Amino acid sequence: MSLDQTVADATALLYHAVETGRQVDAGIRDPIIKMRPVLQGGGQPPPADETAFLDAYARLAALVAPVTATTLRATAAPESTRAGWARVVPTFSKAQVHALGFGLIAVIFLVAVGVSELTQSFVAAMMAMQAEKATVEKEAAPAQAELDAVKKQVKTHEASTGPRDRSFLIVAEGLSRRHDELSAKVRDLVATRTSLEERIEGSYKTLEKRITFLDWDELKNVLVPFQTILRTFFLPLFYGALGTLTYILRSIYAQMGDRSFDGRRTGEFFVRIFLGMLSGITVQWLLVNQPSAFPGAVTPAVLAFLSGYSVEILFVAVDRLLETLKAPSAGGAKPAVQKPQASTGG
């Protein structure tokens, strides 16, 4: 970096310190101001003045840290050079552009979470309907068998050659009543089973329209593994990324307010997104089966979001697991027993 640019940066930082109400003593202010006319005139400053300037700039940088000349440029909205109606279109600083970019990524993951949650709910409803259908079929088989038995009893009773007295009529009435009850029950079970089959088939068609890249004819038989993968892999991954993006947007917002955003550190944010996705999945494995570790309101989805927002949760979980694994080995170790030394007579 040239000395001219360094003086310009120091001047911008000096005016920022004054604008924000910081007390800048003369030992910092004067060497920076003294360098400006020397450079504007095209002259070369004496080594003593340059040394004093660099010392003052270093002290000023420590005074206003974490704000630097680079962060001031990144958070300053550029002056519009457009003419006419084009001036209506707003111009954005580098920090605002980064915020918009990460916000767009957050919206993408938010949509992914919505689609995944909708698919999971739909699959869960289909599985519930299939379980209800199995229950109905389990009830329908013995009901139909009992109905068939009653029909045989009715035919046998009607074909009997005994006297048609009062007891005959009572038995016939009882069989007829039981026949009607069983017939109504079988009709209701058949109607319920038919309705469930139609709803299940309609659900498959709806999913096939919404998610065209899957072969639902083959997937019908593996709904449970599909839901498990969706619930334990994709959703924690999306929630972890969404939590990380929430943290990133909050950080950029705060840095825009105090003028400390540095676009050169954007790569760290992308690394944190990947770390948040990994944390969202991994924390499920480590903590989801420990109900005593968190309050009851903290669901696996909330836990994945929080672990993405603060990846330190993953490190805490790993440390806790390591302590758990170390405890048995530490407890099993027996302290060494010192043998008593034989006393020597004087």
pLDDT of 114: 92
**Which amino acid, one-letter code, is at 151?**
K
Residues 6+ apart with CB under 8 A from 320: 286, 293
In terms of domains, do 208 and 145 share one?
A: yes
Check whether residue 183 and residue 161 sit in a common domain.
Answer: yes
Q: Whose structure tokens read 């009997």?
A: 160
71 within domain boundaries: no
Kindly state the DSSP code that residue 91 receives in the 8-state scheme.
Answer: P
Euclidean distance between CA atoms 198 and 208, whole angstroms: 15
Rounded-to-integer distance, Cα 249 and Cα 126, Å = 38
In a domain, 343, yes or no: no
| Per-residue model confidence as pLDDT tens for the chain (346 residues) | 688 888 889 999 999 999 989 888 999 999 999 888 877 776 778 888 889 999 999 999 999 999 999 999 998 877 655 555 555 557 788 999 999 999 999 999 999 999 899 888 888 888 888 888 888 888 888 888 988 888 888 888 777 777 777 888 888 888 889 888 989 988 998 999 899 888 888 877 777 776 666 665 666 667 778 788 888 889 999 999 999 999 999 999 999 999 999 988 889 999 999 999 999 888 877 765 554 455 556 678 888 999 899 888 778 778 877 887 876 655 555 555 555 554 444 3
Residue ranges making up the domain that contains 38: 3-65
Asked whether residue 341 is domain-assigned, the answer is no
In a domain, 96, yes or no: no
> How much is the pLDDT for 37?
80
The answer to whether the beta carbons of residues 255 and 102 sit under 8 Å apart is no
Do 237 and 212 fall within a single domain?
no
Of 221, 239, 268, the last residue of a domain is 221
Residues 24, 40 within the same domain: yes
* 216 shares its domain with 136: yes
Distances (CA, A) of 21 to 13, 18, 247: 13, 5, 29
The answer to whether position 100 is within a domain reads no
Compute how many other C-beta atoms are within 10 angstroms of the C-beta atom of residue 88.
Answer: 8
| Claim to verify: residue 134 and residue 200 sit in the same structural domain | yes
Count of H-run helices and E-run strands, the chain = 12, 0
Tokens representing 211 are 């998610």
- Give the CA distances from residue 176 to residues 70, 141, 147, 152, 159, in Å, rounded to whole numbers and listed in that order: 93, 20, 11, 12, 15
Of 49, 65, 67, the C-alpha closest to 7 is 49
How far apart are the C-alpha atoms of 126 and 121, rounded to whole Å? 9
In this prediction, residue 63 carries a pLDDT of: 92
Total domains, the chain:
3
pLDDT for the residue numbered 170: 85
How high is the pLDDT of residue 38?
74
